[in-house]
Chains A and B, each alone.
Chain A
């Protein structure tokens, strides 16, 4: 496993849940620490384990902090970008956990369908189909927001 590459991927994954760089970095560090402490996670499924640990950590952190403590950070340069990203984040948040994860894994982290299928314990074909359905749902939500 290439630590730097996977670190960035897990960070982006955590960021999609926590929406805060500091918290995402904390979750990422903790995820890797827990991963290293458990040698049984080693093997061909280590990426899946990492994502699972990271998700559990993010869920725990979201439970423990109050909603007003979530400080969303925007890195966009202009107002249009900020509006677009805000709409996109809202739409992503309205998706189910599985749909959200699939889109983040595929298009942010660029994980291949085989990995996604393994994470969700489904076939690659099903993963592809569900991913497509998730994208359609996201589109429809964005259209609703725009109208």
Chain B
């Protein structure tokens, strides 16, 4: 027995929606009114909790971290001294405790008036005695001087104070710490400086060196590159072949070009494997995925993006075109380009989720460190994109959300999804560019040409600046970085198109 998806979904919907609740909502509405300020109360409570508890805890944490870090830095910088001192058995006291550590103050001599920068101060106590040992590390223009003051009686236990505490000064030549520091700093860049001239071939060859990476890469090649190739070949052949097209209507014609009130996007651009399928297959696909009923479809996919779109009549489908009208619903400020892009990317992801379940096996083995790198990448990109542009904010938010949600669910579907979005975005943009070239006057065409030149420049810039910054030979997610930088490229194109429109 053949069960069509459409009938099944309709039956499921009617299974329960025929029954409607009979009770009046009055009771609940009254209750809802009783909590008009619950949000503000919650916010106040959160704020109160933050100021009451979080602020002191944060202050203590910052203080602790700063002090600890300073102490560790000091220990590392003067490790030789500590080692020689600690090897003397008479100075070793397992019961010694550090009472306090402080630094970054100045000491001025009353007799000479010379100022010394106190680098570090430590106060130690010994359990068997009531004495303290204070170590003060000061810096003069010539040397670094360590002064050790011992037998400082604890004032709380004895009223008698020694007039002149026993002091011992150790002068550390200036060259010693500097040379130590210099040695350390010299070793860092050699291991962390990324390669600046890696080409795609070199990256691939590096990936192939490890079996796990080559396996991933081969999957990547088999899966995504085949898609990319097919889309690109379709892109080239689309102009000469009669294939079904999805017609996106703009809400209003562009001011500079009233002719351009709609864009026809070949199906192959969005769903490359649909190119050899009849239109009815596309129709079935849309019905299966979106529960489309003709002409009166209200379908909301995303919190920030809602559509009401209409499928065309059967006669239109038979003629070879599928006409879909996208309308903005809700309060979002998305442009027509954004709507088309989002719709296309959604179509594509749904298509691959339905017909390519093997994507489940496509796994990037991402971990926390990798996700951190992607987030770092966003911060790098942030420095190079004009931040006052509204699309920048939207794009960054979307990208960050994808990364965050990937992190949350601990899988890589979102990464694959971003890549699919990127593909659809690029090819849709290519189509739009093509249409602009076709229908716009010479001036606009030159603008597009200018863009293309800048596009190459920007692409080179991002490939040189962004990818090497995050490049790490031991991780295969270079694909993701390439993908994200390409998304930047698409963003730049969008900015150009927006300026034009």
Contacts and interface: CB of A to CB of B under 8 A. Distances in A.
Say whether A and B bind each other: yes
Interface of A: 3-4, 7-8, 11-12, 15-16, 21, 24-25, 28-29, 32-33, 36, 39-40, 42, 44, 73, 75, 84-85, 88-89, 92, 103-104, 107-108, 110, 112-115, 121-126, 128-129, 132-133, 135, 138-139, 142-143, 146-147
A128 B349 CA distance: 9
Contacts of A146: 1
B409 A123 contact: yes
Contacts of A128: 349-350, 353-354
Interface in B265-317: 291, 299-303
Main SS class of interface, A: helix
Interface stretch (B2-10, B151-159, B227-235): B2-10
Contacts of B183: none
Contact of B25 (A3, A89, A115): A3
Given A125-B413, A135-B8, A143-B1, A42 B42 contact: yes
Contact of A132 (B20, B21, B354): B354
Main SS class of interface, B: helix
Given A8-B21, A15-B19, A29-B23, A107 B417 contact: no
B417 A108 contact: no
B13 A107 contact: yes
A123 B27 CA distance: 37
A139 B8 contact: yes
A4 B13 contact: no
Q: Which of A114, A123, A147 has the most CB of B within 10 A?
A: A123
Nearest to A120: B409
A124 B305 CA distance: 14
Interface in B1-57: 1, 3, 5, 8-9, 11-13, 15-23, 25, 27-29, 31-32, 34-35, 38-39, 41-42
Which range contains the number of B residues in contact with the other chain?
35 or more
A41 to B, nearest CB: 10
A107 B11 CA distance: 9
Given A42-B39, A124-B349, A143-B1, 14 more contacts: A3-B28, A8-B21, A25-B22, A33-B31, A39-B38, A75-B19, A88-B11, A92-B15, A104-B16, A108-B16, A123-B405, A124-B417, A126-B409, A128-B350
A142 to B, nearest CB: 6
A24 B223 CA distance: 47
A98 B232 CA distance: 39
A84 B15 CA distance: 10
Contacts of B353: 125, 128-129, 132
5 contacts: A3-B25, A89-B15, A92-B12, A125-B414, A125-B417
